[in-house]
C-alpha cells in the first residue's frame, strides 16, 4: 500500500487536517463545485476542535499578546496550577516564537489584532444560523450571549477601559452589578461583584458539530480519508505534486494546509515557515447538574470558561506552552474545578465525566494565516486560529474557497498574510 500513487488528477483540492478549519474549507469548496478529499491523521475532530468550550464569541477579540502578558507569564512560571504556564525548557523555535510574541505585546499591535480578529468573528457569526438551517445540523446552537464575570470590584473596574475599547468597535456589553448579575444568571454564587453581558455571543456543542460536519461533507461528496497521515510532499519547482502519506501519495490541483498546531511540522517539509506554538488547554465535562447556569460564562479571575448545554456542562481553560507535550496536568484540572466552585452554585463536588486537552494553534500576533503560500502557487495555508478557531471557522472556509477560485476578498486580507512574520 505504501508505494501506491493515488493519481486521481480529477481531484481539485486536497485538504490536510480534519479539524473545524479543514472541514469548513472542504464544505465551502465542495459546495462551490470542486472535488475535494480530506486527509486526517487520526479521526475527524481529533485535534483541538472536539471538546473545547464551543463558544461563538465575537466579543472575544482581544488577542493573548497584549500589554502585561510577558510579566504575567514570568510571574506564573513556577506555579503548577497557573492558568498561564510557559515551560522554561523551551527549544530554539519556541524561544523565537516567544520573542516574536513579546514584540506584539503593546497597545498598538493589540488594537490591530482586535480588528483582524473582529472581521473573522463578525462575518462568521450569522453564518452559524444559516449553516445549521441549511444542513439540518443538530449542534445545540444557543444564542443566549455570554457573561464575563468578575468576583471582585477592582477587577471589574480594571476591565472598564478595555470595555471602552470594545465599545469603540461596536462590541457593546451590558454591565451587571450585584443583584442584576444574579437576576440574569441565578446559577452564580451571590457574593460575586458583577459582570458584562455580551448579547451578540452564542454557543454550540463542538463534538456534535464535528460529527455533523463529517456527515454533511461526506453526503456532499468529500472523500474523507481518516488515519491518513501526511508525512511529506513531492514538489516540482513552485508547485506541490502530491502529498505523501502512510496510505500512499495523493495528488490534486490544489492543497489546503489546515493542520492546526501541527502545521509548522508539515510546512517545514516544504521549507515554509509558520510561526505556531501549541497552546495547551484543558476541559472537563460534567453531567448537567440541577440548578445549572444557563448562560456561558468567562470567569475572569480564574481565567476559565463555563459552557452549559441541555446535554451537559463543560469547564475549560488554561494556556500551557510546553511544546507538543500530551501529558494531562492534574493540577490544572483541579484549578478548573476550584474556579467553578468559587463562582457557581452547582455542581458542588463536581463529578467528572471526561477530561480532555487540546493544542490551540497560537500565532505571535493572535491572528490566523489565511493566504496562498509565497513559495508554492497551489498551496493555501489556513491555520493559526488561536483561541477562536470555532468562532472564526465559517468565514475561513469561504476565504479558502475564494483564494482557490480567485474571488474578490470580502475584506482586508492583509491581516492574515503568510508573509507578515
Ligand atoms: C480548552 C480549549 C477551549 C477552547 N474553546 C474554544 C471556544 O470556546 N471557541 C472557539 O472558537 N475556540 C475554542 N478553542 C480553540 C479551538 O479549539 C481551535 O482554535 C480550533 O479547534 C482550531 O481548529 P483547527 O482545525 O485549526 O485545528 P485542529 O482542530 O487541531 O485540527 C487539525 C487537524 O489536523 C490533523 N493533522 C495534523 N497533522 C496532520 C498530518 N500530518 N496529516 C493529516 N492530518 C493531520 C490533526 O489530527 C487535527 O485533527 C478552544 C481550545 C481549547 C484547547
Q: What is the rounded distance in angstroms from the CA atom of residue 213 to the CA atom of residue 20?
A: 8
Q: Is the CB of 214 under 6 A from ligand 1?
A: no
pLDDT tens for 259-290 read: 999 999 999 999 999 999 999 999 999 999 99
Closest-CA residue, ligand 1 atom 15, reads: 387
8 pLDDT band (50/70/90 cuts)? low
Cell of 133: 438551517
Tell me how crowded residue 393 is: count the other CB atoms within 10 A of its CB.
29
Q: Is the CB of 240 under 6 A from ligand 1?
A: no
The predicted model gives 366-377 an average pLDDT of 97
Location of C-alpha cell 472564526: 392
- Mean pLDDT lowest among 45-49, 248-252, 343-347: 343-347
User: Cis bond leading into 92, ω under 30°?
Assistant: no
Centroid of ligand 1 to alpha carbon of 283 (angstroms): 14
Q: What is the rounded distance in angstroms from the CA atom of residue 266 to the CA atom of residue 47?
A: 15
Contacts of 299 (CB under 8 A, 6+ apart): 149, 151, 305, 306, 339, 340, 342, 343
pLDDT tens for 188-198 read: 999 999 999 99
Q: Is the CB of 14 under 6 A from ligand 1?
A: no
Q: Is the CB of 188 under 6 A from ligand 1?
A: no
Centroid of ligand 1 to alpha carbon of 116 (angstroms): 20
Contacts of 290 (CB under 8 A, 6+ apart): 346
pLDDT above 80 for 41 = yes
- From residue 404, give the alpha-carbon distance in Å to each of 2, 139, 276: 30, 29, 23
3 pLDDT band (50/70/90 cuts)? very low
> Residue 233: which of 370, 37, 376 has the closest Cα?
376
User: Which atom of ligand 1 lies closest to the CA of 384?
Assistant: 26
> Residue 181: which of 214, 221, 149 has the closest Cα?
149
Taking the CA atoms of 107, 112, 115 and 116 in sequence, report the sign of the dihedral they define.
negative
**H or E stretch at 206:** helix 206-219
Centroid of ligand 1 to alpha carbon of 179 (angstroms): 38
Q: Is the CB of 41 under 6 A from ligand 1?
A: yes
Q: Is the CB of 360 under 6 A from ligand 1?
A: yes
Q: Contact, 115 vs 171, CB < 8 A?
A: no
Q: Is the CB of 73 under 6 A from ligand 1?
A: no
**H or E stretch at 47:** none
Centroid of ligand 1 to alpha carbon of 207 (angstroms): 12
Q: Is the CB of 402 under 6 A from ligand 1?
A: no
Contacts of 235 (CB under 8 A, 6+ apart): 241, 270, 376
pLDDT above 60 for 302 = yes
Give me the chain's average pLDDT, please: 94
Cell of 237: 519547482
pLDDT tens for 104-131 read: 999 999 999 999 999 999 999 999 999 9
pLDDT tens for 214-237 read: 999 999 999 999 999 999 999 999
pLDDT number for residue 229: 98
Q: Contact, 236 vs 200, CB < 8 A?
A: no
At what angle are helices 206-219 and 20-31 packed, to 10 degrees?
30
Q: Is the CB of 131 under 6 A from ligand 1?
A: no
pLDDT over 70 percentage in the chain: 97
Q: Is the CB of 396 under 6 A from ligand 1?
A: no
First to last CA, the chain: 39
> Residue 59: which of 205, 169, 159 has the closest Cα?
169
pLDDT above 60 for 358 = yes
pLDDT number for residue 7: 57
50 pLDDT band (50/70/90 cuts)? very high
The strand ranges marked E within 118-257 are: 146-150, 174-177, 194-198, 202-203, 223-225, 230-236, 239-245, 248-251, 254-257
User: Which atom of ligand 1 lies closest to the CA of 383?
Assistant: 26
Q: Is the CB of 53 under 6 A from ligand 1?
A: yes
Dihedral of the CA atoms 169, 175, 181, 184 (nearest 10)?
-60
2 pLDDT band (50/70/90 cuts)? very low
**H or E stretch at 356:** strand 352-362
Burial 27-65 (b: 16+ CB within 10 A, else e): bbbbbeebbbbbbbbeebbbbbbbbbbbbbbbbbbbbbb
pLDDT number for residue 1: 37
Q: Contact, 52 vs 205, CB < 8 A?
A: no
pLDDT tens for 52-88 read: 999 999 999 999 999 988 888 777 777 777 788 888 8
pLDDT above 90 for 164 = yes
User: Which atom of ligand 1 lies closest to the CA of 382?
Assistant: 26
The predicted model gives 1-16 an average pLDDT of 71
Closest-CA residue, ligand 1 atom 51, reads: 52
Tell me how crowded residue 21 is: count the other CB atoms within 10 A of its CB.
32
Q: What is the rounded distance in angstroms from the CA atom of residue 85 to the CA atom of residue 88?
A: 9
Q: Is the CB of 358 under 6 A from ligand 1?
A: yes
User: Which atom of ligand 1 lies closest to the CA of 266?
Assistant: 41
Q: What is the rounded distance in angstroms from the CA atom of residue 10 to the CA atom of residue 35?
A: 7
Contacts of 362 (CB under 8 A, 6+ apart): 64, 261, 276, 277, 278, 279, 321, 384, 386, 387
- ipTM, two decimals, is 0.99
Q: Is the CB of 262 under 6 A from ligand 1?
A: yes
What is the domain class of 61-90+141-201+277-362 according to CATH? Answer: alpha beta
Location of C-alpha cell 465542495: 30
Amino acid at each position: 500500500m505504501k508505494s501506491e500513487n493515488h493519481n486521481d488528477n480529477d481531484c481539485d483540492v486536497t485538504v490536510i487536517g480534519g479539524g473545524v478549519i479543514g472541514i469548513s474549507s472542504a464544505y465551502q469548496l465542495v459546495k462551490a463545485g470542486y472535488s475535494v478529499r480530506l486527509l486526517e491523521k487520526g479521526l475527524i475532530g481529533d485535534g483541538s476542535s472536539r471538546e473545547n468550550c464551543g463558544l461563538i464569541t465575537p466579543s472575544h477579540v482581544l488577542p493573548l499578546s497584549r500589554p502585561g502578558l510577558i510579566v504575567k507569564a514570568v510571574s506564573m512560571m513556577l506555579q503548577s496550577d497557573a492558568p498561564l504556564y510557559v515551560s522554561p525548557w523551551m527549544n530554539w523555535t519556541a524561544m523565537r516564537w516567544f520573542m516574536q510574541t513579546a514584540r506584539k505585546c503593546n497597545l498598538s499591535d493589540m488594537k490591530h489584532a482586535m480588528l483582524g480578529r473582529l472581521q473573522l468573528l463578525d462575518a462568521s457569526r450569522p453564518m452559524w444560523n444559516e449553516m445549521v438551517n441549511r444542513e439540518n445540523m443538530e449542534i445545540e446552537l444557543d444564542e443566549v450571549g455570554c457573561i464575563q464575570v468578575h468576583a471582585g470590584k477592582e477587577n471589574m473596574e480594571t476591565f472598564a477601559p478595555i470595555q471602552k475599547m470594545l465599545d469603540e468597535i461596536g462590541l457593546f456589553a451590558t454591565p451587571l452589578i450585584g443583584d442584576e448579575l444574579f437576576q440574569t444568571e441565578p446559577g452564580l454564587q451571590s457574593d460575586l461583584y458583577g459582570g458584562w453581558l455580551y448579547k451578540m455571543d452564542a454557543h454550540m456543542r463542538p463534538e456534535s458539530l464535528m460529527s455533523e460536519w463529517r456527515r454533511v461533507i461526506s453526503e456532499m461528496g468529500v472523500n474523507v480519508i481518516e488515519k491518513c497521515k501526511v508525512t511529506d510532499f513531492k514538489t516540482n519547482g513552485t508547485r506541490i505534486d502530491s502529498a505523501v502519506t502512510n496510505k500512499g501519495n495523493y495528488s490534486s490541483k490544489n492543497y489546503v494546509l489546515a493542520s492546526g498546531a501541527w502545521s509548522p511540522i508539515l510546512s517545514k517539509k516544504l521549507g515554509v515557515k509558520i510561526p505556531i506554538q501549541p497552546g495547551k488547554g484543558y476541559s472537563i465535562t460534567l453531567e448537567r447538574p440541577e440548578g445549572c447556569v444557563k448562560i456561558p460564562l468567562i470567569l475572569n479571575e480564574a481565567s476559565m470558561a463555563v459552557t452549559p448545554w441541555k446535554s451537559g456542562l463543560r469547564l475549560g481553560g488554561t494556556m500551557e506552552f510546553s511544546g507538543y507535550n500530551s501529558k494531562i496536568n492534574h493540577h490544572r484540572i483541579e484549578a478548573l474545578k476550584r474556579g467553578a466552585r468559587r463562582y457557581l452554585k452547582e455542581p458542588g463536588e463536581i463529578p467528572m465525566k471526561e477530561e480532555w486537552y487540546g493544542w490551540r494553534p497560537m500565532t505571535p500576533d493572535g491572528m490566523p494565516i489565511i493566504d496562498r503560500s509565497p513559495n508554492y502557487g497551489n498551496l493555501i495555508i489556513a491555520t493559526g486560529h488561536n483561541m477562536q478557531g470555532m468562532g472564526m471557522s465559517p468565514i475561513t472556509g469561504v476565504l479558502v474557497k475564494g483564494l482557490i477560485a480567485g474571488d474578490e476578498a470580502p475584506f482586508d486580507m492583509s491581516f492574515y498574510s503568510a508573509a507578515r512574520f
